[in-house]
Amino acid sequence: MKRRTKIVVLGSALLLTAGAASAATASDAPRERTTASDAPRERTTASDAPRQREAAALTGTAKLYRSAGDDITFSFDAHLAAEDKADPSKATGTFEFSHYLNGEGARAEVKVDCLLTGGKVAVVSGVVTDSDLPGAKGKRVGVTVHDLGRRDRLGYSWASTGSPVDTKELPTCVSSAPFEKVAKGTGDFTVVPWQPEL
């Protein structure tokens, strides 16, 4: 073996032996008792912590396009936690909608009771908790969103009845096709796709 090769091999062996010896010494040494206040605190950042992706989500705000000038706004903050991936009825959050024209109209706040997403399409439903539309409180409504990146589309369960009040006993996570268009520059919606284990 050449002299230079022997030196490299010997140096590597010494480093390995020294590392093993220091590890053994550290484990054999008596440990001092520390309290929560004595122990050094590890600084953790968002990038250090393992981040678990939520099972599904629908968020964002936008106005619908109407040539007559109707002011129709939908806002979503609906989520399905990772641990509830197998049960869309455990979704949480709220959504709101309003429709005004010439100073007349109504608004509603909804508590989410189901969220299903597939690709960039979401269907969310919930029960109206507050509204100035007579008869709307306590009614279940559903909304469908197609997340097309600032060209989103939207549909709602009362599309065929004309009002949430006239919808009879709607099941959870039911709505219409997303036939409405979002008005350009008014915002957009974001859908996190559901990935169930099938």
Name which of 145, 140, 144, 143 is nearest 166 in CA terms.
140
Name which of 61, 60, 65 is nearest 183 in CA terms.
65
110 is written with which tokens? 């909804």
Cα-Cα-Cα-Cα torsion 103, 143, 179, 119, nearest 10 degrees, comes to 140
Residue-wise pLDDT for 48-105, tens only, equals 555 678 999 999 999 999 999 999 999 999 999 999 999 999 999 999 999 999 999 9
State the pLDDT at residue 33: 44
* Whole-angstrom distance, CA of residue 112 vs CA of residue 188: 19
Q: Residue by residue, what is the 3-state secondary structure of 27-71?
A: HHCCCCCCCCCCCCCCCCCCCCCCCCCCCEEEEEEEEECCCCCCE
| pLDDT in 10s for each residue of the chain, 198 residues | 444 433 333 333 333 333 333 444 444 444 444 444 444 444 444 455 556 789 999 999 999 999 999 999 999 999 999 999 999 999 999 999 999 999 999 999 999 999 999 999 999 999 999 999 999 999 999 999 999 998 999 999 999 999 999 999 999 999 999 999 999 999 999 999 998 888
Which amino acid would we find at residue 37? S
pTM here is 0.74
| Residue 70 near residue 100, CB atoms below 8 Å | yes
State the pLDDT at residue 53: 87
Name which of 173, 160, 95, 109 is nearest 138 in CA terms.
109
DSSP 182: B
Name which of 182, 56, 181, 55 is nearest 123 in CA terms.
56
